[in-house]
Amino acid sequence: MSETTHDGGVAVTASPSTPSPDDGLSRAELAAKYGLTVSGARPGLFEYVRQLWGRRHFILAFSQAKLTAQYSQAKLGQLWQVATPLLNAAVYFFIFGLLLGAREGIPHEIYVPFLVTGVFVFTFTQSSVMAGVRAISGNLGLVRALHFPRASLPISFALQQLQQLLFSMIVLVVIMCAFGIFPAVSWLLVLPALVLQFVFNMGLALIFARMGSKTPDLAQLMPFVMRTWMYASGVMFSIPAMLATKKDVPAWVGDVLQWNPASIYMDLIRFAMIDKYDSSYLPPHVWAFAVGWAVVIGAVGFVYFWKAEERYGRG
């Protein structure tokens, strides 16, 4: 519409606009009407598993790249993968084996294989947890730049530690042979034990990845927690032999130490590889508990991490 003003100009007045069909709709109703979804929304659990399977090549490649880059600045390179736990084992042998008498109850000729096996196997769990704590907080650039299932990161870090353990197992075989312990059919039991430990470690890595994403300072606390766990897991001594000499230890303390998952996985691999480490060192139903720890922690860790999928990398 227009009309002539008193000075000869033309004034234009707006005509009533046509009401929009979207007027009065809430944001949720608008999104539903036009098929819009929240960017980075958490998918359903089974869809999430399907997405992870679709990223399996990325998970493997990422773990291999991290493993290669881990010691790229060191002159000895990948040798540190086995040199570090071996040096730790040498220190523990001197302090616990020689000075503190931790060899009590263990035949002296198998104490070194016993100790090295414990160090390698516990380091697998320790490194998986420590890497998991930093999996999200230490890779925020990747998390914010790309859309992918965030569980790929802690899983790939656990897989990286498994690959590192496999390198260490080569050295462990050499040590076993040097002490007169040669490959046998029982060594095949190492495979299911490592698979169960990997699932357990992956669950722990997922749990601590979510916790570490909101509390980065957790990475500073975890070394103390892991060191305490190591001393309570029988890495340097036999838990049954120790309990046999400590009559004043409450029964529940002995149960906690023996059913400790780190101790269970160490003992299974020791039992498989060391002839003189017989079943008397193992708690009853040890395989059932090994499976139970892996299934429970693996499932709980996966669901716990998935629940916060859409919050990683925000704020």
User: How far apart are alpha carbons 175 and 39 in whole angstroms?
Assistant: 53
What does the pLDDT read at residue 194? 96
List Cβ neighbours of 65 (8 Å cut-off, separation of 6 or more).
Answer: none
What does the pLDDT read at residue 25? 65
The strand ranges marked E within the chain are 2-4, 10-12
User: How far apart are alpha carbons 286 and 308 in whole angstroms?
Assistant: 34
- Length reported for the chain: 315
Sign of CA dihedral 260, 261, 267, 268: positive
Residue 59 has, within 13 A of its CA and on its CB side, a CA count of 20
How far CA 84 is from CA of 37, 89, 90, 178, in Å, comes to: 49, 9, 10, 20
Sign of CA dihedral 37, 40, 41, 46: positive
User: How far apart are alpha carbons 55 and 207 in whole angstroms?
Assistant: 20
Q: Which of 156, 140, 133 is nearest to 216 (CA)?
A: 133
Query: Tokens 């353990």 appear where?
Result: 165
Sign of CA dihedral 79, 85, 87, 89: negative
For the chain, what is the largest distance between any 2 Cα atoms, rounded to a whole number of angstroms? 115
Q: What is the DSSP letter of 20?
A: P
Helix-helix angle 80-92:111-133, to 10 degrees = 120
User: How far apart are alpha carbons 46 and 303 in whole angstroms?
Assistant: 11
Q: Which residue positions in the chain have pLDDT lower than 50?
A: 2, 14
Query: Tokens 């529940």 appear where?
Result: 252
| 241-246: long-range pairs with CB below 8 Å, 24+ | 241/104, 241/105, 241/106, 242/104, 242/105, 244/105, 245/104, 245/105
User: How far apart are alpha carbons 130 and 221 in whole angstroms?
Assistant: 10
Q: What is the DSSP letter of 271?
A: H
